Amino acid sequence: MSITDMHHHTKALAGLTLQTLTTGTVTGEIIDTAGFNSLEFALLSSTITDGAFVVSLLHGNDSGLSDVTAVSAAETLGDADYADTDDDTANRIGYIGKKRYVQLNIVATGATTGGDFAGIAVLGNAAHMPTAD
């Protein structure tokens, strides 16, 4: 078996800056998918003391997402939700919609101290390779 080159076909961006989430909604960075044909968000939790965290995606064609709508289940791959028992857990959620700009969204409920989360957006299947670092 040989490993093929993924480095020159992908680009990683900050999707959600490391932060502690408690009750409420947090949105990540707006990701521009121009020049790429796939998008996956990789998330990582640290210690989660309490609460539930529902992960979803938002999208639109305006760079500031003034036209933002929720991504449908048909345009989402996987489930990246977290419970208070999901300490130090990596999850991922994929996007297969047709809008140019996509954003990670996490809704926290029942949390007082919550948990720490971070996310990376991985753009793949670049239209032009190699991709820039």
Q: Do the beta carbons of residue 94 and residue 125 sit within 8 Å?
A: no
Identify the pLDDT of residue 131: 87
Identify the pLDDT of residue 129: 86
Cα 121 to Cα 105: distance, rounded to the nearest angstrom: 13
pTM score: 0.93
Cβ neighbours of residue 57 under 8 Å, at least 6 residues apart?
41, 70, 71, 75, 76, 93, 95, 97, 102, 103, 104, 105
Closest C-alpha to 33, from 130, 114, 98, 112: 98
| Mean pLDDT, the chain cut into blocks of 10 residues (133 residues total) | 84 96 94 97 96 97 98 95 95 97 96 95 92 80
Identify the pLDDT of residue 130: 87
Identify the pLDDT of residue 23: 87
Cα 27 to Cα 128: distance, rounded to the nearest angstrom: 29
Pairing of strands 90-95, 76-77: antiparallel
Give the burial class of 88: count Cβ atoms within 10 A of its Cβ; 0-12 exposed, 13-18 middle, 19 or more buried.
exposed
Q: Which domains does the chain have, with CATH numbers?
A: 7-126 (2.60.120.660)
Closest C-alpha to 121, from 98, 97, 92, 96: 92
